[in-house]
Amino acid sequence: MPDGLRSCRPNGHPQAEMGGILVLGSGTWFDASGTRHSEYRLVELMVSPDEIGPSAELSVYHDIWGQCDFRGKPHPAIHTANAPRLSSALQELVQLLGAEAEPGEPTYYGRAEGYGLEAPDIIDRRGPDLTDAVLG
């Protein structure tokens, strides 16, 4: 793979080095009834071949990984069908890189915890409504 990536260098800059590789594509998630759905940019992976060693950053952009949807409605069947898959992918990435994962900065939508997302505060059987910040 490194040779293939090096062959992508611009002709005018044959000594150029990669600063990072952004991996985008479609992923599969499962709804409450177990139906598969394809979603573009379900996750985003940035790999950097740094001088001190490779690093990777995994970002998620969907409410299926959390215990509640963006409106705050709990969706346990969706969470159960998808969150373990995210956990498994993160553990495989840790094994591949040979370094333990470090959680990134918290966002408005959530915070990484272990190999998944931190549970939201549930008040009156609802999580936080995050729809005011969701881009349509």
User: Which residue has tokens 């139906």?
Assistant: 35
* Cβ neighbours, 10 Å, residue 73: 12
pTM: 0.81
Residue type, 48: S
Average pLDDT of 69-77? 96
Q: Alpha-carbon distance 105 to 111, whole Å?
A: 7
For residues 120 and 23, give the distance between their C-alpha atoms in angstroms, rounded to a whole number.
28
In a domain, 57, yes or no: yes
79 is in which domain, residue-wise? 20-117
Mean pLDDT of the chain: 88
**Tally of domains within the chain:** 1
Residue 129 lies in a domain: no
Q: How far is CA 117 from CA 45, 60, 63, 100, 130, in A?
A: 17, 10, 10, 16, 15
Bridge partners for 23 per DSSP: 45
Percent of the chain with pLDDT over 90: 55
Six token digits for residue 133: 């910040």
For residue 97, what pLDDT is reported?
A: 80
What pLDDT is recorded for position 2?
Answer: 66
Residue pLDDT, tens place only, 86-102: 999 999 988 988 888 88
Asked if residue 106 is part of any domain, the answer here is: yes
The 10s digit of each residue's pLDDT in 9-62 is 888 888 887 788 888 889 999 999 999 999 999 999 988 877 777 778 889 989
**Domain annotation covers residue 75:** yes
Residue 2 lies in a domain: no
pLDDT at 48: 83
